[in-house]
Amino acid sequence: MFTKTILTLFILFIASTQAMTGGWTPYASSNMNHDPDINKIISTSINGFAREAFQQKAVQSQDWSLQKVNSIEVQMNDGVKYKLDLSVKSNENKQLNVVLIAKKDTSNNEISLLSWELAGKDDTEKKEDEQENSNTANGSLRPQAISMNDKRLLQELHVCLETLSTRENLLSLIGADITDIYTYLIADGSNFHLVTFKAQKGQFSAIIKVLYTPTSSPDLPILYSYTILDHTAKYEKLHEKSKLDLLFRRLDTSMRFIDPKVFSRIHPPFLGAYVTKNHGQTFYYLSVIAQGSDHSLAHYEIWLSSNIDIEKLTSIDDIQLFGYVRLDMSKETVFSQGDLSVEAKGSGKNIDCGKISSLFVCSLYPECTSKDFISQAKCKAK
């Protein structure tokens, strides 16, 4: 009866093979001094743009050079893709802002220009181009076994943690302990590692996602980007249908790599949906149910993030995976959705742990323990 009820409430799905990181991930500008490939990717892309744009009579010169890097974003699908927002200058001193999409084939290191556009292009055309690029992606992320005894992984995460703490001047995280690892993924065809973990130092705790590539030494990982959610976040229930539809569409293209057995479709409403802003990012908490090929049901707590404010969010390409956990499929876990807008206020004092319906939120409060959360969906006071 329980299964039939859930199936009635939710039309369940699985996604295409596009990875959750179909969203673009910011590339830290400080990495340019440590990444030997990026300058080659930029110069090759500019040369490709100059040739194609001149042939199509979009520009009057075929000799362009880099003037300034405005921003770089990466995407791990079917190799590694780069979105390069650049200011370029012609040999006649004409200046342009261009957005170039380049791809590096990880099998042979070949660099190719996929698309280009001049600044000022119509927003509708931009969205169509971005969706076309997204539709060509067929890479995937592979979940890895998680072990707190993996000394190399822990050392890489500690180095990434020290690096981001210094960059963000987060003294609270310098020397913090890594107490849990929630999500560990490696991109097929590349050496990108995406890990979501919990760091704690005293009363300060945070859940952090890092994107990095290992090197020959665990003391020298190359950190590309990071996202931080700490215990001070305050949550609001998400009601707006247009935003819920965007989040659903992101999940609609992104579930298979989380669990390869999940293939059916899930439609809104979600079991729970909340939004918060923390450390310059917007975070989305979603509680969802999915159905597998054997008709079994799976319950997930999934967190997405975006560097776009919710009011300006219009494209699924701006939504990325932050982390996820699979919960036991039981009446207790499915129907224990609390109110994050009530339970996550202040600095953690006087928190009623028993009302918290999110493992991530529960784990952020030093007064609470998430030890039995996966099986019972119960956050308890220590």
For 150-177, how does the pLDDT look when each residue is reduced to its tens digit (9 = 90+)?
A: 999 999 999 999 999 998 888 889 999 9
Domain ranges of the chain: 2-15+234-381, 23-138, 143-230
Cα separation, 30 vs 172, whole angstroms: 22
Residues 6+ apart with CB under 8 A from 347: 203, 231, 232
Determine contact, residues 308/283, Cβ cutoff 8 Å.
no
Amino acid occupying residue 289? I
pLDDT score recorded for residue 266:
63
By CB atoms closer than 10 A (0-12, 13-18, 19+), residue 320 is buried
**Fold (CATH) for 23-138:** Nuclear Transport Factor 2; Chain: A, (3.10.450)
Instruction: Report helix, strand or coil for 262.
Output: strand
Span 121-131, average pLDDT: 36
Q: Which residue has the tokens 């181009």?
A: 129
Tell how strand 272-278 and strand 281-291 pair up: antiparallel
| pLDDT tens digits, one per residue of 36-76 | 678 889 989 999 888 888 777 677 788 898 988 888 888 87
Amino acid occupying residue 279? H
CATH 3.10.450 fits 143-230, yes or no: yes
- Does the bond joining 269 to the residue before it have cis omega, within 30 degrees of 0? yes
Of the candidates 377, 244, 380, 374, which has an alpha carbon nearest to the alpha carbon of residue 319?
A: 244
Backbone angles phi, psi at 287, to 5 degrees: -110, 120
Instruction: Report helix, strand or coil for 307.
Output: coil
Element (H, E) at 111: strand 111-118
Cα separation, 149 vs 181, whole angstroms: 11
Of the candidates 225, 345, 364, which has an alpha carbon nearest to the alpha carbon of residue 281?
A: 225
Span 88-115, average pLDDT: 84
Cα separation, 379 vs 382, whole angstroms: 9
| pLDDT tens digits, one per residue of 333-357 | 666 655 676 554 444 456 778 778 8
pLDDT grade, residue 198 (50/70/90)? very high
Residue 345's region, left for phi above 0, alpha for psi from -120 to 50, else beta, is beta
